[in-house]
């Protein structure tokens, strides 16, 4: 550690704090990623590493703190409290990432299994560790592959239990949230279009295809292929953009 320059030392420190790994591991990961923190995280988390010890007793305590008085689940109130403790806004997108790690089935509730299991996989057993982990979880949204997984996860998570499709209002809310992170210039037009012309729930196929569309087709629609087997809703959206002069072809 003493042989390292100041910047590097800081990075090692940061890494250890965030991942809870040892100095040796931290050095390894950072060297492997050429002293880029993000890369180092990738390296670290993609390797099968010995499970960081989490104290199950602590986890129980944490769970009980947030659990609903009448059901064996954490419900809206509990989540509110949790967010408070984490100093995070309940609407903050990082909660989505948390839910994704927990493989939560539905928004606004965590089962005991989901909560405990999720935290264990993250190597968190205390609020402090949880708080420290928040920046990392935010950074995961920057990763293309992870973002896609989180995005697709969000559909099942946000929709009503037992429904096949996602209610339009919820979908719009989610899109606005998600595309704040991963910018897509057409997101507002898309939401307006849906409210004006569609007014029905969103299917899973449309949801997942929209991300593809946002990623592969330019905002000017220069490379939009009408024969590209896009869901009809997206075709209609393109027509809407052209009709209203938003895009000129």
Interaction site with another protein (CB under 8 A): 164-165, 203-206, 209, 212, 227-229, 231-232, 235
Of 132 and 212, which has the nearer Cβ to another protein? 212
**How far is the C-alpha of 179 from the C-alpha of 195, rounded, in Å?**
18
215-220: long-range contacts (C-beta < 8 A, 24 or more apart)?
Answer: 219/184, 219/185, 219/186, 220/247
Q: Judged by CB, which is closer to another protein: 226, or 248?
A: 226
The whole-angstrom separation of Cα 165 and Cα 17 is 41
C-beta of 73 vs 221, nearer to another protein: 221
Closest CB 109 distance from another protein, rounded Å: 25
**Shortest Å, Cβ 208 to another protein:** 8
Nearer to another protein, 45 or 153 (CB): 153
Report in angstroms how near the CB of residue 150 gets to another protein at its nearest: 17
Transcribe 159-205 into DSSP letters: SPTT-SSB-HHHHHHHHHHHHHHTT-TTHHHHHHHIIIII-SPBPHH
Q: How far is the CB of 58 from another protein (least distance, A)?
A: 40
Integer Cα distance of 101 and 121 in angstroms: 8
How far, in Å, CA of 247 to CA of 69, rounded? 54
For another protein, the closer of residues 102 and 233 by Cβ is 233
* Distance of closest approach, residue 158 Cβ to another protein, in angstroms: 17
Output the smallest distance, CB 205 to another protein, in A: 5
Report, in Å, the least distance between residue 105 CB and another protein: 19
CB-based contacts of 171, cutoff 8 Å, min separation 6: 158, 194, 201, 202, 207
Dist. CA 120–CA 231, nearest whole Å: 39
Which is closer to another protein, CB of 23 or CB of 205?
A: 205
- Which segments within 7-128 are labelled E, that is strand? 73-74, 110-111
Give the dihedral sign, CA 138/142/143/149.
positive
Alpha-carbon radius of gyration of the chain:
21
**Residue nearer to another protein on the CB measure, 85 or 235:** 235
């Amino acid at each position: 550690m003493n042989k390292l320059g100041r910047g590097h030392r800081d990075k090692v420190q940061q890494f250890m704090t965030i991942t809870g790994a040892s100095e040796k591991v931290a050095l390894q990961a950072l060297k492997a990623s050429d002293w880029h923190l993000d890369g180092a995280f990738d390296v670290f988390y993609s390797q099968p590493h010995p499970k960081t010890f989490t104290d199950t007793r602590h986890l129980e305590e944490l769970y009980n703190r947030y659990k609903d008085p009448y059901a064996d689940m954490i419900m809206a109130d509990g989540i509110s409290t949790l967010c408070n403790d984490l100093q995070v806004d309940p609407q903050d997108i990082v909660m989505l990432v948390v839910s994704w790690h927990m493989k939560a089935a539905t928004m606004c509730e965590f089962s005991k299994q989901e909560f405990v299991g999720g935290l264990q996989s993250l190597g968190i057993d205390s609020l402090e560790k949880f708080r420290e982990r928040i920046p990392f979880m935010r950074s995961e949204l920057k990763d293309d592959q992870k973002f896609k997984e989180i995005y697709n996860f969000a559909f099942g998570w946000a929709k009503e239990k037992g429904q096949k499709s996602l209610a339009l209002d919820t979908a719009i809310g989610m899109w606005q949230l998600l595309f704040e992170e991963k910018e897509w210039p057409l997101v507002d037009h898309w939401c307006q279009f849906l409210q004006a012309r569609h007014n029905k729930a969103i299917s899973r196929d449309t949801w997942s295809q929209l991300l593809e569309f946002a990623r592969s087709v330019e905002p000017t629609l220069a490379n939009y292929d009408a024969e590209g087997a896009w869901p009809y809703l997206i075709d209609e959206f393109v027509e809407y953009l052209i009709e209203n002069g938003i895009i000129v072809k």
